[in-house]
Structure 1
Amino acid sequence: MRRLSRAGFAAALLAAIAPAPAMADDDDAKPGSAVASPAQDDDDDRDPSILDSVPALGPIKNARDALAAKGLTFSGFYFSDPRANLHGGMREGATYSGLLKVAIDADLETIAGVKDASVHVDMLQIHGRDLSEEYIGNVLSVNDIGARPTTRLFEAYYQQKLGNLTLKFGQLASDEEYFISDHAEQVFIGATFGWAAAPSLNLPQEGPAYPLAVLGAQAQYDVSDRLTVIGAIYNGYAARPKALDAEKANPHGLNFRLGDPPFMIAEARYRFEGLGGLPAKLKLGGYGHFGDFDDLKRGTDGLTLGAPGSNDDPRRHDGNLNLYAVLDQQLWRFSGDDPERGIGFFLRAVWGPKDRNTISAYVDGGLTAKGLLPGRPDDLAGVAVAWADFSPGLAAVDRAAADGAIRRYEAKIEATYKAQVLPGMTVAPTFQYVMRPGGGPPEDGGPRIPNATVFGVTTIVTF
């Protein structure tokens, strides 16, 4: 793949938003990740709000409802996350991190008579410290909201529905739409069960994902009740391409860059009756970046990077394409009126060229349950495993340097129980066990980082 010029980027943008021949969006409701928008297009699909559960908040609820009747919907949540590394990792210790998200959705049909059109804007207030970065040294982050503390604009876009076709233009984040397991997103706290370690580590500046959204355009086409196709094109960098820390270089989400080598992603979603006639969903997709990528093993002189005599100048590759798949399957449905109450299974995988992707293969999967305990119909629980295989080129570099442990793989187990205290408020104790943090060695070489044991209690209040 070659780098696109500004004219080429514009042409690709137009191609991305043109009506697809046949496919569409899939999720009836937004995902339940930490940064997903709690407000839905349909009031019946909106996440429970604490404003509806606590009588003392009635005046705020009434003001919210009055504005909603005029076409303005305010929503958001606060994510509170104290977490501790009890044993292993780089060192033992604890952190606190928090995230406040506030969103405004404007129904332009109600406000201005523009049929099936809306505007969405949300902002993030991020504070606290990241346990993975400071105490563990792993890539399968144990925290879903770890980021540089700041207040920033996240997504801001115009959406237009045209029959089965839905278009979006503006500042967008790919992790809000793509590579999502419905079962995993509802339960787990670790970031890798959302925007996984594979795209995060393989893409420049971790791709257009929390906490960095970028300018882009998206088209979604509903082929049928079962089949949907969705695709988008984004500016490939959230900050200047050579920035060492994109979050620091674009601290408030206001860079609005356009003209850098683009990032594109597409996904086909198919719903069907799976095992026992229970609902299942298969997603097949791929993403590509049109920038240049360093070879992870070979230098321009043909020698292994880090070996004696090497010029340590990596070869360059044009572009990077990764493919992925996601499977969700309900395995058992409990009796009752809620068809989502039961046990589910999910499996996700990503593959990419080994010569330019830090994580050349990635797999995660697990079991989830809703309403597992009697009398607790809205509680969620789950156990999941994630495995990230580091490129063998990196192992070759480690061997050539001969300065410590060799990067091979990192794995993580998570067990979480998300209890609904009242509609709009959940408390989730979570246990995680990280194997071979960082793939083995720390960034500056040396012996392997010990396996880590992590515990935390996450509270989410939705309003």
Structure 2
Amino acid sequence: MPKGSIASVIATVLLGCGPACLPANAEDAGASEEIGISSNPAATKAVTGTAWLGEQLGINKRGVRLGGVWVGGVNDLVTGGVDPGFTFNSSLVVDLSVDLERFAGLKGSSIGVDFLQLNVQPTNSDAGSVLGYIGLVGSEPYNRSELLELWWRQELFDKQLIVRVGKMNAAIDFQDVVRPVAHPDVERRISVVTSLLYGPIFALATLYDVLPSFYDTAFGITSTWIPSERYYVSYGVFDGNKARGVPVGLRGPEFNGYYFHIAEAGTDWTLGPEQKPGFLAVGGWRQTGKLATDDGLIEEDGAEGAYLVASQHLWYRDPQPINDAGVSGYLQFGWNGSETQLSNYYTGAGLTGRGLVPRRPKDSFGVGMALGWLNPNLFEQNMELVLQSYYQAHVTGAIYTETAVSYIPNPAAERGLDASLALTQQLIVPF
């Protein structure tokens, strides 16, 4: 879609509509439902949407569930970067899942399939950003119709072992800082740690070239051992051809020596008399196969790295809390020793406020910082910083709109770029 006067009009209308012009339904005010939603639910959940579509079609029966989510946004790169102006992004995911225990009597079994229609523009490239201030936009091709996921999940040994096989988004099972944080009182769990839009919130920058994630998912297998309610250990192995620049989301599996292995251990807890929930996960990974820079001048035999993600509820709004309204924070850290990956070190942090705006019980807002130390073999600049703030407003039902401001003081994709300032308005419509 070209940049021009029509884009300017649309963006002015969308960006001019903030939280104040969105109605809050009366029935929502007393609800104890989740506060907020991921800025891209398809990137953080294996099963998306509200199942409204299946209900309308009358097929949500005997464990069958049909839903999905549409995310659309307009971005105005106000200044800086490579090409200031407007870009538009759209992602439609239709999700079908079947509980096979209810449908066919297969205990602990379920299957899922997701279809993706993606139409995005080079939003991050226009800003000159390596880390990316919009996580909805990844590698080319930017316009694709794709089988996003196709998996079978099996619970074993009284749900202490869970195995999932098929085409999957590994970022959901590993290094996911957005995931809900458990609490003995399910109403008080952290439903969504943050609704930031930038890329490293969905996949750590040190894993960009290797981790199967939205929207370049890959075939593989994951297994998770849950010895108690507080601990888990997960391991996964996937088609690793993403590391050599293959758009794995559009292709079937290849067995040619390129494999991505990843393992993670995690735990959660509650702190203090208010039982504020927290979460910590540490992991390590190994990519096999011969890796090379785009110019072919540097090669290496595989790569490896490690990471840590954590989140913690910091303050409750209510003296006797009944939900997760309050303030929480998160931390991320990633490392790899590669000569060919985009980023060798990454750290990120952010704060989120939920249910703090009067008469807007489901609204949330937050700030975040993403800092990547870039591979000197690929970039003249040694680091890039992305700062972002957002306000996510509940519209009605499960629909949210989100306004974000992003600032990149040192875009690193090209030498000598001016600081980038961008405004984003996004609509998230689960169905």
TM-score (norm 2): 0.81
Q: Per the alignment, do residues 40 and 408 of structure 1 end up closer, same or farther by CA in structure 2, a change over 3 Å counting?
A: closer
Identify the residue that residue 194 of structure 1 maps to in structure 2.
Answer: 202
Task: Let me know the Cα RMSD of the aligned residues.
Answer: 2.8
- Render the CA deviation track for 1:212-241: whole Å, top value 9, x for unaligned: 111111101111111111110001115xx7
- Deviation of 1:137 after TM superposition, in Å, equals 1.7
Identify the residue that residue 459 of structure 1 maps to in structure 2.
Answer: 427
Q: Per the alignment, do residues 279 and 47 of structure 1 end up closer, same or farther by CA in structure 2, a change over 3 Å counting?
A: farther
Q: Per the alignment, do residues 48 and 172 of structure 1 end up closer, same or farther by CA in structure 2, a change over 3 Å counting?
A: closer
Identify the residue that residue 137 of structure 1 maps to in structure 2.
Answer: 128
CA distance in 2, matches of 1:143, 1:394: 22
- Deviation of 1:313 after TM superposition, in Å, equals 6.2
Show structure 1 runs of 5+ residues with no match.
Answer: 1-27, 52-59, 297-311, 396-405
What is the letter of the counterpart of residue 428 of structure 1?
Answer: E
CA distance in 1, matches of 2:367, 2:133: 14
Deviates more, 1:341-350 or 1:145-154: 145-154
1:418 aligns with 2:392: yes
Q: Per the alignment, do residues 144 and 91 of structure 1 end up closer, same or farther by CA in structure 2, a change over 3 Å counting?
A: same
1:328 aligns with 2:311: yes
Whether the aligned pair in 2 keeps the contact of 1:285 and 1:325 (CA below 8 Å) is yes
Which of residues 310, 317, 322 is equivalent to 2:300? 317
Q: Per the alignment, do residues 460 and 158 of structure 1 end up closer, same or farther by CA in structure 2, a change over 3 Å counting?
A: same
4+ runs deviating over 6 angstroms: 37-41
- Render the CA deviation track for 1:161-190: whole Å, top value 9, x for unaligned: 012111011111211221111377641111
The structure whose residues are more often helix, as a share, is 1
Instruction: Please give the secondary structure, in 1, of the residue aligned with 2:132.
Output: coil
- Render the CA deviation track for 1:334-387: whole Å, top value 9, x for unaligned: 216543111001000001115444311100001011102122221121100000
- Deviation of 1:32 after TM superposition, in Å, equals 2.9
1:232 aligns with 2:236: yes
CA distance in 1, matches of 2:194, 2:49: 12
Instruction: Please give the secondary structure, in 2, of the residue aligned with 1:68.
Output: coil
What is the letter of the counterpart of residue 159 of structure 1?
Answer: R
Identify the residue that residue 369 of structure 2 maps to in structure 1.
Answer: 385
Whether the aligned pair in 1 keeps the contact of 2:39 and 2:428 (CA below 8 Å) is no
Identify the residue that residue 13 of structure 1 maps to in structure 2.
Answer: none
- Render the CA deviation track for 1:101-152: whole Å, top value 9, x for unaligned: 000001111221111101110011001313112x212112122211511110
Identify the residue that residue 307 of structure 1 maps to in structure 2.
Answer: none
Whether the aligned pair in 1 keeps the contact of 2:193 and 2:352 (CA below 8 Å) is no
CA distance in 2, matches of 1:154, 1:295: 27
CA distance in 2, matches of 1:429, 1:84: 12
Identify the residue that residue 433 of structure 1 maps to in structure 2.
Answer: 407
TM-score (norm 1): 0.75
Whether the aligned pair in 2 keeps the contact of 1:36 and 1:176 (CA below 8 Å) is no
Identify the residue that residue 221 of structure 1 maps to in structure 2.
Answer: 225
CA distance in 1, matches of 2:118, 2:373: 30
- Deviation of 1:256 after TM superposition, in Å, equals 3.0
CA distance in 2, matches of 1:353, 1:113: 48
CA distance in 1, matches of 2:302, 2:251: 26
CA distance in 1, matches of 2:256, 2:376: 33
CA distance in 2, matches of 1:370, 1:330: 11
Instruction: Please give the secondary structure, in 2, of the residue aligned with 1:36.
Output: helix
Q: Per the alignment, do residues 389 and 38 of structure 1 end up closer, same or farther by CA in structure 2, a change over 3 Å counting?
A: closer
- Render the CA deviation track for 1:371-415: whole Å, top value 9, x for unaligned: 0212222112110000001134556xxxxxxxxxx3111001000
Q: Per the alignment, do residues 367 and 228 of structure 1 end up closer, same or farther by CA in structure 2, a change over 3 Å counting?
A: same
What is the letter of the counterpart of residue 389 of structure 1?
Answer: W
Show structure 2 runs of 5+ residues with no match.
Answer: 1-33, 180-191
CA distance in 1, matches of 2:296, 2:74: 42
What is the letter of the counterpart of residue 138 of structure 1?
Answer: S
